């Protein structure tokens, strides 16, 4: 049903009134906005509820609130803000994002160049969880790497490598490392320059440990953030961006808990299996779910060895769960 011109006009009028009201009833901090203070661009370092920690181009950090009528921003966002004191400000605009990563409709971070899915020997990686993370990451359209941490705890590294061969043949670079024993840390470090990288993965796999290892003075930086925001000791409950002194940014994120599993749609799941892509649209039935249908191009690809059989069973498991 299309809207009549009159309906459209009404909707626009209501929206304009809402925005005007939101501007009027703005935060008390906003009333402190001084027209003589020049707006500047900033980078969102982290978000605590409704508050943002914003870094000015000078490197100074400001605790900010956002104007009510602008979309909430997250780590990695570029914003326009105005200072209201020597460590506080108000965000007045959100700049356009290159990309954004969300889970269950909740925004995690923005303007990311590469995603690193971290798994470990302990807590032991689970394929279903890996595939869920990959589906989320693929749907954000980001380049993805897989890190297998704590390899020194493995008694059968060949088995681990066999387990990850299906991800390798799907095109994901796999990095085996141990933060504890410094295995392959230098190699990883060399891959992280001059871009924004996000570390994602189950709680306890060592994302923060790895970031600490990659940024030697991070403890300083963590203290700096927590003393500024006055929110006590840093724990990974907030997605936070850190600068590598030699260039590049790392975003640490909290690991998910069981009850936070994403509700994935069949469409998202299908586009989350990147090696299926060349075969989609080639099945006999246009609405093929690639389960029991005859002449299914995905199943044929599995039989021909173009898709790893374990990846296909993982797909079936996700789609039926």
Q: Which residues form the interface with Mg ion (CB under 5 A)? A: 207-208, 236
147 binds Zn ion (CB under 5 A): no
Nearer to ligand GTP, 39 or 255 (CB): 255
Is residue 69 within 8 A of residue 82, CB to CB? The reply is no
Contact between 44 and Zn ion by CB under 5 A: the answer reads: no
Whether the CB-CB separation of 61 and 86 falls below 8 Å is answered with: no
Q: Which of 39, 123, 143, 254 binds ligand GTP (CB under 6 A)?
A: 254
Residue 89: both structure tokens together? 């400000």
Cα 302 → chain centroid: 30
Instruction: Enter the tokens of residue 219.
Output: 């403890």
Which region among 166-174, 188-196, 199-207, 267-275 touches ligand GTP (by CB under 6 A)? Answer: 199-207
Q: Does 123 bind ligand GTP (CB under 6 A)?
A: no
| Interface pick for Zn ion out of 64, 118, 214, 298 (rule CB under 5 A) | 298
Q: Interface with ligand GTP includes 178 (CB under 6 A)?
A: yes
Which tokens is 52 given? 């943002």
User: In the range 208-227, which residues lie near ligand GTP by CB under 6 A?
Assistant: 208-209
Nearer to ligand GTP, 92 or 236 (CB): 236
With tokens 């002449």, the residue in question is 295
User: Quick count: other Cβ atoms within 10 Å of Cβ 116?
Assistant: 25
Per-residue contact string for residues 256-285; x = within reach of Zn ion by CB under 5 A: ---------------------------x--
The nearest distance, CB 89 to ligand GTP, in angstroms, is 28
Q: Count of CB atoms within 10 A of residue 22's CB?
A: 13
The item of Mg ion, Zn ion, ligand GTP, none sharing an interface with residue 206, based on CB under 5 to 8 Å by kind, is ligand GTP
Is residue 69 part of the contact set for ligand GTP (CB under 6 A)? Answer: no
Residue (177 or 298) nearer to Zn ion, CB: 298
Report phi then psi at 206, rounded to 5: 110, 25
Number of residues that bind Zn ion (CB under 5 A): 5
Q: Alpha-carbon distance 252 to 239, whole Å?
A: 6
The span from the CA of 279 to the CA of 295, in Å, is 12
Is the backbone peptide bond immediately before 123 cis, with ω within 30 degrees of 0? Answer: yes
Q: Which does 283 bind (CB under 5 to 8 A by kind): Zn ion, Mg ion, ligand GTP, none?
A: Zn ion
Give the CA radius of gyration of the chain.
Answer: 23
Query: Toward Zn ion, which CB reaches closer, 225 or 283?
Result: 283
255 makes contact with ligand GTP (CB under 6 A): yes
Q: Is residue 241 helix, strand or coil?
A: strand
In the list ligand GTP, Zn ion, Mg ion, none, the entry touching 290 (Cβ below 5 to 8 angstroms by class) is Zn ion
DSSP 22-61: HHHT--HHHHT--TTSPPEEEEEEEEETTEEEEEETTS-E
Residue 205 makes contact with ligand GTP by CB under 6 A: yes
* Among 20-28, 130-138, 206-214, 219-227, the segment contacting ligand GTP (CB under 6 A): 206-214
Are 157 and 183 in contact by the 8 Å Cβ rule? The answer is no
Taking every pair of Cα atoms in the chain, the longest distance, rounded to a whole number of angstroms, is 71
Going from the C-alpha of 127 to that of each of 176, 202, 317, the distances in angstroms are: 16, 12, 10
Of 41-49, 88-96, 146-154, 214-222, the window that binds ligand GTP (rule: CB under 6 A) is: 146-154
Site residues, Zn ion (CB under 5 A): 283, 288, 290, 296, 298
Site residues, ligand GTP (CB under 6 A): 149-150, 152-153, 178-180, 203-209, 236, 254-255
């Amino acid at each position: 049903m299309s809207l009549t011109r009159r309906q459209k006009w009404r909707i626009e009028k209501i929206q304009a009134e809402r925005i005007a009201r939101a501007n009027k009833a703005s935060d008390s901090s906003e009333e402190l906005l001084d027209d003589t203070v020049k707006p500047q661009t900033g980078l969102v370092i982290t978000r605590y509820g409704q508050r943002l920690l914003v870094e000015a181009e000078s490197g100074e950090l400001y605790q900010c609130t956002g104007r009510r009528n602008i979309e909430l921003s997250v780590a990695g966002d570029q914003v326009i803000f105005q200072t209201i004191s020597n460590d506080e400000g108000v965000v007045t605009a959100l700049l356009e994002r290159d990309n954004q990563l969300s889970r269950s409709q909740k925004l995690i971070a923005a303007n990311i160049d590469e995603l690193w899915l971290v798994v470990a020997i302990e807590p032991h990686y689970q394929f279903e969880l890996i595939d869920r993370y990959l589906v989320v990451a693929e749907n954000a359209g980001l380049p993805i790497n897989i890190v297998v941490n704590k390899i020194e705890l493995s008694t059968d590294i060949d088995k681990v490598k066999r387990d990850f061969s299906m991800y390798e043949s799907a095109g994901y670079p796999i990095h085996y490392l141990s933060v504890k024993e410094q295995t392959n840390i230098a190699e990883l470090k060399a891959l992280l320059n001059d871009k924004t990288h996000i570390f994602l993965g189950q709680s306890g796999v060592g994302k923060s440990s790895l970031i600490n290892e990659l940024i030697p003075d991070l403890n300083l930086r963590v203290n700096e953030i927590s003393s500024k925001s006055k929110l006590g000791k840093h724990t990974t409950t907030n997605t936070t961006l850190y600068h590598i002194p030699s260039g590049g940014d790392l975003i640490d994120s909290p690991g998910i808990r069981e009850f936070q599993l994403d509700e994935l749609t069949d469409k998202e799941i299908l586009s989350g299996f990147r090696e299926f892509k060349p075969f989609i649209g080639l099945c006999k039935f246009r609405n093929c779910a690639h389960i029991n249908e005859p002449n299914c191009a995905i199943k044929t690809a599995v039989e021909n060895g173009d898709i790893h059989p374990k990846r296909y069973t993982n797909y079936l498991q996700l789609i039926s769960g």
